[in-house]
C-alpha cells in the first residue's frame, strides 16, 4: 500500500494553477485576486457628515449649553447628494444630512439631538470640537494606496470596496470547472422504482455539492454504465469541457471495474492502493492534459477520497492559498477503536468546542464505507493512526468539514 502523503504528492504533481482572467466585479465573489488593486480615488471622495445635524464653525459653539444655548441663523439645507450653494460664514449654521458634503467654511457638525429649533434660527445646546462628526476625504481609503493584494479571496466586503471605487472588472484566477461522472450498471437516477440489484446514484449529487462548496464550478457529466467504450467517451467529453474530472466507482478489484482499465490505457495514470480507510483505491492522472480523479464507488469512500486527494488541489488551481480544511486537536469523548491494518483511518466524528475552548470528538455512527448516514451527520474526520485506536480522553487530530 502507498502512504497517503505519497499518493497526495502524486496527485499534486499534475495539478497546475489555471490562468488568470478578467471578470466583472459583480461575478467575482469567491474568486482569488491575481492583481494588486490600487485605489485611484479617495473614499470617501469628499469630507462629509456622519450625522444629521448642523454644519457650523466649532468656534461659534463655545460656551453653548442646554441652559444657555448659542443661537445661529440657519442659512441653508444640504441633503446627501447635493452641495451647499455658498460657503458657511462665521456665526451661521446650515442644516445637513448624513453623507452630505461639509460646506466650505464649516469645520464641525453638531448632531440634531444637541439642537433645538428656534424660528429661523437653531439653538445649539452644547460645544463641539473642530472636526466633530466630520468624515474627511480619504478617511477610509487614500487615493494611491494598495488596498487588495493577489491571493485575496473576494468576499462581499471586497466587492463593496471595488464598487465604491468604480472598478468594473478585476483580474482573478479562473475558477476550475469540475466534471462529476458516476459509473456503474447498478445505478439509476432519481425516484424511479428500483429493479432487483439496482440502487440510486448518490455519489454524483454529493460530489457536485462538494465541488460547489469548495468554491469550484460543478459540471454534471451524468451516469455511465460499466462499459469501456461508454466510459472512454464520457471521460473524453468531460476532459474536453472541464478543467478536472471526478469519477466514482470502477477503480477496485472487481471484474467490471473498467474505469481503472480505461484510464490506465488512455494515459499516464497511476492506480494506487493508498494506506487509508475508507477510500483505499484511487486512480489519478492526466487525460488530454486534464486531471482525472478515479474515486472509489462506495459513497463514504468517494467523499473521503475527494477530501483527501481532490479538494485542496482543485482549490489551489484557482489560486486559493487557504486550500486545506482546518485541522484541530480534539479529545475523544469515547473510544475510537480500530484494528491494526497498516492504514490510517478517517473516522467520521462530531466535534464540538466546549466552554473551555477544548474540542471534543465522538463517533457520528456506523463507520462502514457504505454507511453514508454517519458521513452526512459528521462535521469532522478524525485521523486515527494505525494501531488499536484512540482511548476515551486521548487526543486525536480532526479535519473539520464544512
Binding site for Mg ion (CB under 5 A): 184, 249-250, 297
Task: Pick one of Mg ion, ligand AMP, none as the site partner of residue 53 (Cβ within 5 to 8 A by kind).
Answer: none
Q: Is 402 exposed, middle or buried (0-12, 13-18, 19+ CB in 10 A)?
A: exposed
Cell of 402: 464544512
**Span from 22-30, 200-208, 234-242, 377-385 in contact with ligand AMP (CB under 6 A):** 200-208
- Strand-strand pairing, 244-248 and 177-183: parallel
Candidates 48, 106, 152, 203: give the one binding ligand AMP (CB under 6 A): 203
**Span from 170-178, 181-189, 271-279, 312-320 in contact with ligand AMP (CB under 6 A):** 181-189
* Shortest distance (Å) from residue 369 CB to ligand AMP: 8
Cell 497498516, located at residue: 342
Is position 184 an interface residue for ligand AMP (rule: CB under 6 A)?
yes
* Shortest distance (Å) from residue 244 CB to ligand AMP: 18
Rounded to whole angstroms, the Cα distance separating 104 from 94 reads 11
* Shortest distance (Å) from residue 3 CB to ligand AMP: 22
Rounded to whole angstroms, the Cα distance separating 220 from 242 reads 10
Candidates 161, 187, 208, 242: give the one binding ligand AMP (CB under 6 A): 187
Task: Pick one of Mg ion, ligand AMP, none as the site partner of residue 244 (Cβ within 5 to 8 A by kind).
Answer: none
Site for ligand AMP in 284-303 (CB under 6 A): 296-299
In this complex, which beta carbon is closest to ligand AMP, that of residue 132 or of residue 298? 298
Rounded to whole angstroms, the Cα distance separating 53 from 132 reads 11
Compute how many residues bind ligand AMP; rule: CB under 6 A. 20
- Do 284 and 235 touch, CB atoms closer than 8 A? no
Task: Pick one of Mg ion, ligand AMP, none as the site partner of residue 203 (Cβ within 5 to 8 A by kind).
Answer: ligand AMP
Candidates 53, 238, 250, 319: give the one binding ligand AMP (CB under 6 A): 250
In this complex, which beta carbon is closest to ligand AMP, that of residue 215 or of residue 278? 278
Rounded to whole angstroms, the Cα distance separating 72 from 65 reads 14
CA triplet 47, 50, 55: central angle to 5 degrees? 70
Rounded to whole angstroms, the Cα distance separating 143 from 38 reads 8
In this complex, which beta carbon is closest to ligand AMP, that of residue 103 or of residue 297? 297
Q: How many helices (H) and strands (E) does the chain have?
A: 8, 28
In this complex, which beta carbon is closest to Mg ion, that of residue 101 or of residue 249? 249
Please provide residue 292's backbone torsions phi and psi, each rounded to the nearest 5 degrees.
Answer: -120, 125
Cell 469532522, located at residue: 380
Cell of 302: 468517494
DSSP 113: G
In this complex, which beta carbon is closest to Mg ion, that of residue 184 or of residue 299? 184
Q: Which residue is nearest to ligand AMP (CB)?
A: 297
In this complex, which beta carbon is closest to Mg ion, that of residue 122 or of residue 231? 231
Radius of gyration of the CA atoms of the chain, in A: 31
In this complex, which beta carbon is closest to ligand AMP, that of residue 130 or of residue 209? 209
Site for ligand AMP in 316-375 (CB under 6 A): none
In this complex, which beta carbon is closest to ligand AMP, that of residue 106 or of residue 247? 247
- Do 204 and 306 touch, CB atoms closer than 8 A? no
Sheet with 70-78, strands from edge to edge, namely 108-111, 53-56, 93-96, 70-78, 121-124, 115-118
In this complex, which beta carbon is closest to ligand AMP, that of residue 234 or of residue 319? 234
Is position 254 an interface residue for ligand AMP (rule: CB under 6 A)?
yes
Is position 186 an interface residue for ligand AMP (rule: CB under 6 A)?
yes
- Do 398 and 345 touch, CB atoms closer than 8 A? no
Binding site for ligand AMP (CB under 6 A): 182, 184, 186-187, 199, 201-204, 248-252, 254, 257, 296-299
Amino acid at each position: 500500500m502507498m502512504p497517503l502523503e505519497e499518493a497526495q504528492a502524486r496527485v499534486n504533481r499534475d495539478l497546475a494553477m489555471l490562468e488568470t482572467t478578467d471578470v466583472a466585479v459583480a461575478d467575482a465573489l469567491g474568486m482569488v485576486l491575481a492583481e494588486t488593486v490600487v485605489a485611484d480615488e479617495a473614499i470617501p471622495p469628499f469630507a462629509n457628515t456622519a450625522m444629521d445635524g448642523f454644519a457650523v464653525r466649532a468656534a461659534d459653539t463655545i460656551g453653548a449649553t442646554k441652559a444657555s444655548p448659542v443661537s445661529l441663523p440657519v442659512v441653508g439645507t444640504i441633503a446627501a447628494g447635493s452641495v451647499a450653494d455658498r460657503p458657511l460664514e462665521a456665526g451661521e449654521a446650515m442644516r445637513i444630512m448624513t453623507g452630505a458634503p461639509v460646506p466650505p467654511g464649516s469645520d464641525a457638525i453638531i448632531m440634531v439631538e444637541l439642537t433645538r429649533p428656534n424660528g429661523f434660527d437653531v439653538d445649539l445646546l452644547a460645544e463641539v470640537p473642530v472636526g466633530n462628526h466630520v468624515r474627511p476625504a480619504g478617511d477610509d481609503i487614500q487615493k494611491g494606496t494598495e488596498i487588495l493584494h493577489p491571493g485575496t479571496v473576494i468576499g462581499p466586503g471586497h466587492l463593496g470596496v471595488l464598487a465604491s471605487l468604480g472598478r468594473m472588472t478585476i483580474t482573478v484566477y479562473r475558477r476550475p470547472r469540475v466534471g462529476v461522472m458516476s459509473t456503474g450498471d447498478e445505478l439509476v437516477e432519481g425516484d424511479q422504482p428500483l429493479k432487483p440489484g439496482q440502487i440510486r446514484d448518490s455519489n454524483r449529487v454529493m460530489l457536485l455539492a462538494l465541488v460547489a462548496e469548495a468554491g469550484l464550478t460543478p459540471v454534471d457529466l451524468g451516469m455511465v454504465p460499466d462499459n469501456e467504450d461508454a466510459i472512454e467517451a464520457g471521460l473524453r467529453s468531460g476532459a474536453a469541457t472541464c478543467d478536472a474530472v471526478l469519477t466514482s466507482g470502477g477503480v477496485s478489484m472487481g471484474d467490471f471495474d473498467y474505469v481503472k482499465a480505461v484510464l490506465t490505457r488512455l494515459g499516464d495514470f497511476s492506480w494506487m492502493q493508498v494506506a487509508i480507510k475508507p477510500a483505499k483505491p484511487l486512480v489519478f492522472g492526466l487525460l488530454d492534459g486534464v486531471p482525472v480523479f478515479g474515486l472509489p464507488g462506495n459513497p463514504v469512500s468517494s467523499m473521503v477520497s475527494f477530501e483527501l486527494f481532490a479538494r485542496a488541489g482543485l482549490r489551489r488551481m484557482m489560486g486559493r492559498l487557504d486550500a486545506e480544511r482546518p485541522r484541530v486537536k480534539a479529545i475523544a469523548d469515547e473510544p475510537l477503536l480500530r484494528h491494526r491494518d497498516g492504514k490510517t483511518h478517517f473516522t467520521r466524528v462530531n466535534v464540538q468546542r466546549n466552554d473551555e475552548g477544548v474540542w471534543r470528538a465522538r463517533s457520528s455512527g456506523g463507520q462502514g464505507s457504505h454507511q453514508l448516514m454517519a458521513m452526512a451527520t459528521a462535521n469532522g474526520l478524525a485521523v486515527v493512526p494505525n494501531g488499536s485506536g484512540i482511548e476515551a480522553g486521548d487526543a486525536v487530530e480532526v479535519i473539520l468539514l464544512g
